Structure 1
């Protein structure tokens, strides 16, 4: 299953550590979104077994003062 992980951070996304997802072989894509009034946003597209695994992998990444949203991507 694929999940889009949106991260809103007070720091640039480059400062956040998504390397663990890459090393685990689950990271399909990553990028920064246009900054807005609430801060810097970015995303990770990951391919994992289920929602619980997605949540567990994201919990392992230090994301201080970040807002994280995980959504399943419909594959058609």
Structure 2
């Protein structure tokens, strides 16, 4: 099962403050543990919302673009990991090991084809797209 561990933003992360050398080293060690355990699929920190934008949808083909920064810090994301583990409990255990002094991490299961039941018919097409994406990004 794939889970996304979502790091909630803070005033500090939204200020554009760069993590200290020690914080980066601790995070590097944590990421190495995830890789050695064979559970890490992806993970990154995100820059502050002042360097981003939102696209809002208002009916088919109608959009509005809002440039950052965004004000509701508690609703923002500062980073994420995508891990592949056996259960939500295992995802929680990995999240508990993140070397944060303060903050919050939300854990969400990534939707898989089987989560949609029999109504999910485009599985073969989806699998082909995923294979093509993987092929495009081979190092």
- State the TM-score bracket (shorter-chain normalisation): 0.7 to 0.9
Task: Please identify runs of 4+ aligned residues in structure 1 that moved more than 4 A.
Answer: 11-14
* Aligned equivalents of 1:6, 1:22: Cα separation in 2: 18
Give the alignment's TM-score, normalised by structure 2: 0.46
**Structure with the greater alpha carbon radius of gyration:** 2
Q: Does 1:56 align with 2:69?
A: no
Alpha-carbon distance in structure 2 between the residues aligned to 1:41 and 1:56: 20
2:128 aligned partner: none
> What is the count of residue pairs matched by the alignment?
76
TM-score (norm 1): 0.78
Larger helix fraction of residues: 2
Structure-1 separation of matches of 2:101 and 2:32: 16
What value does the CA root-mean-square deviation take over the aligned residues? 2.5
For the residue of structure 2 that corresponds to 1:53, the secondary structure is: helix
Q: Which runs of 5+ in 1 are unaligned?
A: none
For 1:2-35, what per-residue CA distance to the aligned partner results, in whole angstroms no more than 9, with x for missing partners? 0000113535578361332122110001122342
